């Protein structure tokens, strides 16, 4: 279900996607690409959890991106939203840029995350393993960066370039809006000092990575497992950066098992 939530007295209008009706709350923080109108992996998780997936300001119909300058503004946006949705704490799952923001959110207030799942999160930079420049990638190069198999139906569907000019313009404008916002956390290098704060994360934490992630190489998992006490790592085979689309059952299983355990 998609509803509109007015946050902070209308400062932000939030396009809120929800899945499922019962179970513990699960807050999903999407990556730089944003949410699709319907997300099958969230639907699956909705069987066991009450899933809240807000579109970040600047994405879809969510407004207020002009109030967001940095990761602190982003983390506070989520803190306020959780209060408004009556969630003093929740299971927090973040993918890519959303993983970076989820880690920031949990580091700033360690009590917010009941459990934390970071799915191939951004947030660190290793000189010897540079992350490719996603912002400079051409539309026809994106599939190869994001997917284990760029020719798979999932990859083709998610990276299709519309042939109709009007549709292309709509897609282009939406892409610009989303990535312009993402740039506030990721441009030109996706490191905003998380290394200084990650030790504050106290919740049980699972790191999930696609074995053949070409955008953020799996070697970055160590940066998280070494800094977050007790963090576990699950690597999913035959999956790239968009592992929840490429290997949905395996992805849903590791997340569900961890949150349920």
Partner 1 sequence: MKFTWFHLMPYRFLPEDFKDKYRSVWVDIPRNLYDPKVGHRLYNDYLDQLEYADSMGFDALGVNEHHQNGYGMMPSPNLMAAALARRTRNANLVVLGNSIALYNPPIRVAEEFAMLDVISGGRLVAGFPVGTSMDDNFCYGVIPATLREKYYEAHDLIVKAWKEPEMFSFNGKYTKLRYVNLWPRPVQQPHPPIWIPGGGSVETWDFCANHDYQYSFLSYFGYLAGKKVADGYWDVMAKKGKELNPYSMGFAQIVAVSETDEQAERDYAPHMDYFFNRCLHVYDGFADAPGYRTVKTIKAGILGQVGDRAAMVRQDLKWKDFVEQGYVIAGSPKTVRERLREAMKHIHCGHLMALMQIGSMPPELVRKNTSLFATEVAPYVRDLWSEYEDKWSPKRMPQNEIAVPAPVHFDSKQTNGATTRTAAASHAEVRSAK
Pick out residues in 127-146 that bind partner 1 (CB under 8 A): 133, 135-138, 141
Q: What DSSP element (H or E) covers 108?
A: helix 97-108
* Distance, CA of 250 to CA of 62 (rounded, Å): 31
Out of 172, 226, 232, 237, point to the residue binding partner 1 (CB under 8 A). 172
Answer yes or no whether residue 176 interacts with partner 1 by CB under 8 A.
yes
DSSP β-bridge partners for residue 26: 51, 91
Cβ–Cβ < 8 Å for 157, 151: no
- Phi, psi torsion values for 233, nearest 5 degrees: -120, 130
Q: Which is nearer to partner 1, 33 or 98 (CB)?
A: 33
| Piece of 12-20, 184-192, 207-215, 250-258 that binds partner 1 (CB under 8 A) | 184-192
Distance CA 39, CA 252 (A): 12
* Closer CB to partner 1, 179 or 250, in the complex: 179
Chain centroid to Cα 12, Å, comes to 19
Binding mask 79-118 for partner 1 (x = CB under 8 A): ----------------------------------------
- Rounded to whole angstroms, how far apart are CA atoms 219 and 129? 8
Q: Pick the binder of partner 1 from 5, 79, 125, 184 (CB under 8 A).
A: 184
What whole-number distance in Å separates Cα of residue 63 and Cα of residue 127? Answer: 35
Among 173, 232, 237, 260, binds partner 1 (CB under 8 A): 173
Residues within the interface to partner 1 (CB under 8 A): 65, 69, 133, 135-138, 141, 169, 172-173, 175-184, 187-189
């Amino acid at each position: 279900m998609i509803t509109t939530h007015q946050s902070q007295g209308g400062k932000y209008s939030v396009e809120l996607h929800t899945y499922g009706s019962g179970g513990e709350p699960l807050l999903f923080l999407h990556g730089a690409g944003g949410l699709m109108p319907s997300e099958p992996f969230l639907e699956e998780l909705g069987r066991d959890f009450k899933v809240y997936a807000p579109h970040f300001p600047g994405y879809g119909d969510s407004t207020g991106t002009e109030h967001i300058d940095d990761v602190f503004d982003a983390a506070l946006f989520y803190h306020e939203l959780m209060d408004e949705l009556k969630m003093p704490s929740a299971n927090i799952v973040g993918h890519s840029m959303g993983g970076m923001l989820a880690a920031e959110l949990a580091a700033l207030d360690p009590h917010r995350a009941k459990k934390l799942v970071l799915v191939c999160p951004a947030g660190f930079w290793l000189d010897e393993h540079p992350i490719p420049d996603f912002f400079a990638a051409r539309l026809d190069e994106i599939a190869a960066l994001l997917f284990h198999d760029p020719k798979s139906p999932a990859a083709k569907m998610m990276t299709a370039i519309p042939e109709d000019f009007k549709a292309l313009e709509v897609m282009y404008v939406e892409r610009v809006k989303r990535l312009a916002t993402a740039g506030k956390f990721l441009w030109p290098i996706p490191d905003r000092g998380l290394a200084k704060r990650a030790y504050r994360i106290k919740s049980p934490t699972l790191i999930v990575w696609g074995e053949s992630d070409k955008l953020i190489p799996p070697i970055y998992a160590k940066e998280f497992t070494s800094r977050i006490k007790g963090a576990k790592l699950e690597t999913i085979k035959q999956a790239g950066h968009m592992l929840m689309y490429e290997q949905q059952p395996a992805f849903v299983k590791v997340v569900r098992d961890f949150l349920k355990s």
